[in-house]
Structure 1
Amino acid sequence: MEPPSRAARTSHGCWTCRLRRKKCDEQRPVCGICEALCITCHYDDKKPEWMDGGTRQEEMIEKLKREVKQNAPYRRVERPHVSSEKVLNTDLGEWPAGPQKMMPEPTQNETCRSTESHVSLLQGTGCVHIDRSSLVGRSDSILTTFYLQSVLPFLFPFYRPSIARGGTAWILELMIRSPVVRQATLCQGCFFFCLAQGTDSREVICDTVFSQVREAFQSLERAIQAMNGSDIIENPHGAVQIMASIVQMLHFEVAALTFENCAAHLNAALALFGQLFDKSCTAEPVGLRAQFNTFMGRLGPLSFIPPAEHILIPSGEQDAFYFSTALLLFDDIIASTTLQKRPRLYQYHQSLLESTEGREPVINLEEVIGCQNMTIVQIGEIAVLDEWKKQCQNTGNLNVIELARRATRIKNVLEGHIMRLEHEPTEGRKNGGNLLDLLAPNDGASSSRRLVTLVWTRATLLYLHVVVSGWQPASDEVRYHVGQMIDLLANELSPSTLIRSMVWPFCIAGCLAQPAQRVEIRRMVEALQPSIVFSTIRKALQIMENVWHRNEEDACQDFAACFRAHGDMVLLV
């Protein structure tokens, strides 16, 4: 007679239980048996390749045995009850486990918490139930408040959404609803909180904070793995939560840790964004602008603020998708300057970033990164021009007249933009009797947007000059724009920490700076302390120093070569 554990096995349960010959309760995305053991739960409509009845199946059995043994200490942690339906489906390829350097092994409580994160990613959409009373403790409340009040304004100094439209409440809302978002946010809060308390030792941070970064990436990895089994469009809320977490963790990792994994994280976010749009398409041919608005509608509904029921506030997922899309479009464009390829989201620029038919752009980058859309769009256009020129040179078919024509069109747009910016009055604090204006934070970031856009636009002109004419730091035009930018950054930017939001233009100007200007550039970087939270600026200085030590007459040099000398993907955001 077969043992009870084998006789009761199911033919419809997860492949893990089938392999272990255990009865599966068929809950998804993680069954109760695998959840209790803190082991990987494999759900798929198709039979896995490793279920071959041979060597690969035996290897998987041994792997699961090791998981059961290794996770034995973690099973003492109380876990929430989970019941679920079908979840999302993506094809995002391999996802890294997180930063590979200076990462300790996870602590005893981490594996279970990161495992339960992915089973709860769709909580709030009707797919997963969790006892919320166990979600937020005292330390989490402190770190959440610290993140919203201090960390978010530091990482995104120009992002000040009006409280009349919900402000940054969407982050708190998604943290409560989504363990993936919560873990990504808390690890950032913990990192900066340790620094604020004087814990500035690298070793201490590695031991006490970086393990949470590892856990956050594990949560994202598991959340993506859990999105197998159904169409992604069936549950867009969960996909948006994951996309928002990836984008935020990407910016955190670039700002304070390393560039090592930014390419993989950016690729994952871009793939998820593309699938959200592709799968949102209807049979009717519609414009991308309308498609974006339709998808935003699916992330609703809007909320009413009682007792004035005429006040409508966007949903948490709507705000998260808007914020993440803005950053993703921006990141993609800056990455294209390193890769010498057109931005992967280039097809969306006209519909989402440009004014059409008298209507304002769907996405206003100035509200998120402080620079107006027109300048960032032109960076993308120059990247497209750079790719075209490189392809023509490789085939020996470069049309110089066409190159000059396309470059002149971009240059005229940028120079006209600079002229308008220089004649605009300096933006002051609004106070027209509106209480919301009176209560708005006055930290100097909002009034610096004109200056920020001016710096970005001059850097874009320098980028265009190098793409078209090559490396000519001694030319009068280059020296003029470099001098203007350094003067703005050194003497007019306030507070000086805002320079961390302009790393790309700062690096562009620095690479072309004259020897006498390099002292001022080094001084500006050294003044930014503590250095651990300005790693992007210091990486930019390393790029500059490398350029300064090269032969300045190297006619083949370009910005992509300068950036790639420090890695395949140097994302200066």
Structure 2
Amino acid sequence: MTRATGCWTCRVRHVKCDSETPSCRECSSRQTNCHGYGPRPVWMDGGTLEAAERSRIKASIKENFRRVRKRQNQSRQRSRVPQPAAQAEPQFRGTDARRARFASEDRLLSPSIPLLQSITYSLDSITAYDNLQQLACDTSPASEPILFYPAADNVALFRQPTASEDNSVGNNAYEASLLMHYFDQVFPWQFPYHNPQSRTGNRGWLLQLLTKRGPLYYATISLSSLHQNAMRGINQESLQSQKAYDRHSTALQELCEFLRSEKSAELHQDELLLAEFLACSTMLMSFEVLGGGQSDWEPHLNAVYSIIIPKPPTTFLDSECWKTDNHMCYPSEDLPHLKTCGTSAGLEFLYANAIWFDIISCVSTGKAPVLPYKSWLAIKKLKMEDVMGCNNRILSLIGDIAQLRLWKEDMDKQGLLSARELVGRGQGIESQLEEEIMKLSSEKDEVCPLPNVFPTVMKSQANWISHIFALGALVQVHTIVSGPLPYLPEIQRTVQKCIDLLSARPCRCSLQGMVWPLCVLGCMAEPQSQSFFEELVSNMDKEYKGLGNSSTVLQIMRGCWGLQMGGRKDCTAAMSELNIHALLV
């Protein structure tokens, strides 16, 4: 095993490792034994010994967290100036009461809506950090999954202010600054190709939901706080970062409260509730991606699936905002129309996110898309390039490729794989990709000056981004049909085309949202081309100060190149071998 994959302790925990010697920071900061980077330990057997060691590690980290939290509480108590209870910081208010109420629940009731039965968050999967194992919604042993059931009382997703609580955003100057940091810095990091002059360009719906101070609010400021700390070079063990995790925990607590309540049955009837739930899930996934995106994002995506699947794409066409031909969805001063149009634009944005995550995650999971992506992407007014940079046609073909991979694996397992049928299916997708690439290459750049406040995508840039994704998809088809062989002429040609395009990158176009094609193409680069991708992604990691999963992409590419010396490996196979479950967004 190489140090690039991290120490054995971090590997069994599925967390990002900095590979420092003699002990990594992830282990030393939590005062647990770092098993180093040598040969595979005897206990790493995939069975009882590994389970026992994992339990020991978790218990050690949990105990260390209790000690740290106790010291922090004592320190805060010593430095705290006596003040009326009503002036306490809102993000901490009510937490103890909620924990006490959840701890006193004797039993859980039946689910409020059937589709939520399928949503389970185990304490291992809900967080990449062990300190979140103290979630208030944990009413079952740590080894058992938590089901979202309604509580005895009805808890609204949008909390109403109490007599002792001022819910205005400006009540806490620091939290207000975090919201500003989110809109100015974090949102462009999450969505570098978002077009502010598109139908989904008006972010007023998001601000409206944030003022409700529900789980979305806490998920957003926790993400913003962690991003801000990283930009300032504040390490994860600091008190500031601990507060970010506290807020993240609060978001999860309140989301659990809502999903336990009878109010959850109204998700499909109330667009505001639906929008906040989807937005909160997006923030929680981004929180994981910020730290490398190697684990713990899947439960949130599964929750999104369970909400979206029962709602067919045709329901969007009933919205008045969808019936208009206006380029931008800026509602009028009429309040009912304001709510309908603004929320519909928000849902359009959030559904585009869900479809994107669903299709892009397939390269990591090795599965096919869960959502009916063809139906969604066939909606002409749902323009993925305005949200994610890549157009609907290319994204739909990437979904088809995931379907092709799964079909090939299933047929192979059954001993029924027909090489002729595989080639035929692959050529069908390949010809469509080639046609789209020709269109993208031939279309002339269009000059469309846009404001410089947010990263924007002109048509020329959207074409360039779609072109890169199309080349990544083309390499995927070649590896599925012909095998993951970097020396194949068709793979060499495609990788070289990508290198040429990247070398001529538009100056205003960020690479932040390009990790999926860079990883797919980089893994299939010949040795003489590997340095190009390695240098490119390394510079990305430095430019973005380690934010996001560029370091994870670097780890996957290097691991894949090493594995190719002993056999045929592509991006998906390499992630499986390296035990990396990355969300490449």
Aligned residues of 2:556 and 2:574 also touching (Cα < 8 A): yes
Structure 2 distance, partners of 1:163, 1:480, is: 35
Which of 576, 581, 585 is equivalent to 1:564? 576
Which of 216, 233, 244 is equivalent to 2:251? 216
Which of 502, 526, 530 is equivalent to 1:514? 526
Structure 1 distance, partners of 2:114, 2:273, is: 8
Displacement of 1:477 after TM fit?
1.3
- Equivalent AA in structure 2 for residue 403 of structure 1: L
1:290 aligns with 2:335: no
Which of 289, 296, 318 is equivalent to 1:261? 296
Q: Which residue of 1 aligns with 2:217?
A: 182
Displacement of 1:140 after TM fit?
2.3
Structure 1 distance, partners of 2:282, 2:267, is: 19
Cα distance change on mapping 1:272 and 1:563 into 2, 3 Å: same
Q: TM-score of the superposition, structure 2-length normalised?
A: 0.70
For residue 121 of structure 2, give the secondary structure of its aligned residue in structure 1.
coil
1:160 aligns with 2:195: yes
Cα distance change on mapping 1:309 and 1:163 into 2, 3 Å: farther
Structure 2 distance, partners of 1:396, 1:105, is: 44
Question: Which has the higher mean CA deviation after the structures are superposed, 180-189 or 330-339?
Answer: 330-339
Aligned residues of 2:215 and 2:252 also touching (Cα < 8 A): no
For residue 438 of structure 2, give the secondary structure of its aligned residue in structure 1.
helix
Q: Which residue of 1 aligns with 2:235?
A: 201
1:457 aligns with 2:470: yes
Q: Which residue of 2 aligns with 1:395?
A: 414
RMSD over equivalenced CA pairs, Å: 3.8
Structure 1 distance, partners of 2:554, 2:190, is: 19
Structure 2 distance, partners of 1:534, 1:487, is: 26
Aligned residues of 1:92 and 1:272 also touching (Cα < 8 A): no
Cα distance change on mapping 1:449 and 1:250 into 2, 3 Å: same
Residue correspondence of structure 1 range 93-132 to structure 2 within 5 A: 93-96=119-122, 98-101=126-129, 103=131, 119-122=155-158
Question: Which has the higher mean CA deviation after the structures are superposed, 371-380 or 397-406?
Answer: 397-406
Structure 1 distance, partners of 2:254, 2:336, is: 38
Aligned residues of 2:433 and 2:474 also touching (Cα < 8 A): yes
Q: Which residue of 2 aligns with 1:467?
A: 480
Structure 1 distance, partners of 2:579, 2:225, is: 28
Residues 531-552 of structure 1, C-alpha deviations (whole Å, 9 max, x = no match): 6543411111111111111244
Structure 1 distance, partners of 2:506, 2:393, is: 21
Q: Which residue of 1 aligns with 2:434?
A: 415
Residues 73-94 of structure 1, C-alpha deviations (whole Å, 9 max, x = no match): xxxxxxxxxxxxx999832432
Structure 1 distance, partners of 2:498, 2:382, is: 27
Aligned residues of 1:119 and 1:223 also touching (Cα < 8 A): yes
Displacement of 1:202 after TM fit?
3.2
Which of 547, 553, 563 is equivalent to 1:550? 563
Aligned residues of 1:305 and 1:311 also touching (Cα < 8 A): yes
Q: Which residue of 2 aligns with 1:12?
A: none
Percent sequence identity is 22
Residue correspondence of structure 1 range 104-503 to structure 2 within 5 A: 119-122=155-158, 133-136=166-169, 137=171, 138-162=173-197, 167-196=202-231, 198-204=232-238, 206-227=241-262, 230=265, 232-275=267-310, 277=311, 288-294=312-318, 305-306=332-333, 314-345=340-371, 348-354=372-378, 360=380, 362-430=381-449, 439=451, 441=453, 443=455, 445-446=457-458, 447-495=460-508, 498-503=510-515
Aligned residues of 2:331 and 2:342 also touching (Cα < 8 A): no
- Structure 2 unaligned regions, length at least 5: 1-93, 137-150, 323-328
Aligned residues of 1:244 and 1:324 also touching (Cα < 8 A): yes
For residue 152 of structure 1, give the secondary structure of its aligned residue in structure 2.
helix
Residues 156-212 of structure 1, C-alpha deviations (whole Å, 9 max, x = no match): 01113338877111111100124111111111222222334x233232254343333
Aligned residues of 2:119 and 2:302 also touching (Cα < 8 A): no
For residue 250 of structure 2, give the secondary structure of its aligned residue in structure 1.
helix
Displacement of 1:568 after TM fit?
6.3
Structure with max Cα Rg = 1
- Equivalent AA in structure 2 for residue 393 of structure 1: D
Q: Which residue of 2 aligns with 1:24?
A: none
Aligned residues of 2:210 and 2:216 also touching (Cα < 8 A): yes
- Equivalent AA in structure 1 for residue 155 of structure 2: V
Displacement of 1:254 after TM fit?
1.1
Aligned residues of 1:89 and 1:228 also touching (Cα < 8 A): no
- Equivalent AA in structure 2 for residue 350 of structure 1: K
Structure 2 distance, partners of 1:376, 1:570, is: 19
- Equivalent AA in structure 1 for residue 277 of structure 2: I
Cα distance change on mapping 1:462 and 1:141 into 2, 3 Å: same
Cα distance change on mapping 1:414 and 1:87 into 2, 3 Å: closer
Displacement of 1:41 after TM fit?
5.5
Displacement of 1:452 after TM fit?
0.8
Displacement of 1:554 after TM fit?
1.9
Q: Which residue of 2 aligns with 1:70?
A: none
- Structure 1 unaligned regions, length at least 5: 1-32, 52-85, 109-114, 278-287, 431-436
Aligned residues of 1:87 and 1:232 also touching (Cα < 8 A): no
Aligned residues of 2:291 and 2:548 also touching (Cα < 8 A): yes
Structure 2 distance, partners of 1:88, 1:402, is: 40
Structure 2 distance, partners of 1:237, 1:399, is: 49
Cα distance change on mapping 1:458 and 1:166 into 2, 3 Å: closer
- Equivalent AA in structure 1 for residue 174 of structure 2: S
Structure 1 distance, partners of 2:305, 2:454, is: 34
For residue 369 of structure 1, give the secondary structure of its aligned residue in structure 2.
coil
Cα distance change on mapping 1:373 and 1:311 into 2, 3 Å: same
Structure 1 distance, partners of 2:505, 2:266, is: 51
Structure 1 distance, partners of 2:162, 2:320, is: 26
Structure 2 distance, partners of 1:266, 1:426, is: 36
Displacement of 1:388 after TM fit?
1.2
Residues 508-535 of structure 1, C-alpha deviations (whole Å, 9 max, x = no match): 1111112222222222222232665434
Question: Which has the higher mean CA deviation after the structures are superposed, 474-483 or 334-343?
Answer: 334-343
What is the aligned residue count? 462
Q: TM-score of the superposition, structure 1-length normalised?
A: 0.71
Displacement of 1:366 after TM fit?
0.6
- Equivalent AA in structure 1 for residue 437 of structure 2: I
Q: Which residue of 2 aligns with 1:20?
A: none
- Equivalent AA in structure 2 for residue 332 of structure 1: D
Relative contact order, higher structure (CA 8 A, sep 6+): 2
Displacement of 1:414 after TM fit?
0.4
